Amino acid sequence: MFITDTDACGQTLTNEVQFKSPSYPDKYSSHEHCIISICAPNATDVIELHILDFELEAPSALTGYCYDKFKLYDGPDTSATLMGNFCGTIITPQMFQSTGSSLTVKFVSDHNVQRKGFLAEIVFKRC
């Protein structure tokens, strides 16, 4: 399994790889805005996204709002169906599967609290 040596922001990933947030495992910067596209090499494949490590700013104790967030979309861009919006240190489930051959990750941080971010792995599965 290949591990990216830089963060995956702005990339389209087409191989089975591990990828990470900016600066992982050190703290990510404030005001991050990162889109990662994942495309299976075969149109009939689906994608399994495994979350290996996850630590973002905790949600607001008052409102539950995620100021730093990891959003996962079931498709080629952020207009696709939202599979989840996550923050804090718990992400459930830890494995997500696309319904088609693409997924999109959006990672955003605010100016206030930074954590180490995330490490994830892509696996392609034949339908």
List, in order, residues 6 or more apart from 3 with CB less than 8 Å away: 17, 18, 19
Q: What is the pLDDT of residue 90?
A: 86
**Segments forming the whole domain that contains residue 67:** 2-126
Per-residue pLDDT tens over the stretch 86-95: 999 988 889 9
Which residue type sits at 107? F
Selection from 42, 34, 44 nearest residue 16 by Cα: 42
Q: Is cis: bond before 76, omega within 30 of 0?
A: no
* Dihedral angle, C-alpha 75, 69, 49, 116, nearest 10 °: 150
User: What CATH number should be reported for the domain holding residue 112?
Assistant: 2.60.120.290
Stated pTM of the model:
0.93
Provide DSSP, 55-107. Answer: E-PPPPTTT---SSEEEEEESSSTTSEEEEEE-TT--SSSEEE-SSSEEEEEE
Q: Number of folded domains in the chain?
A: 1
Instruction: Give the residues of the chain that fall short of pLDDT 50.
Output: none
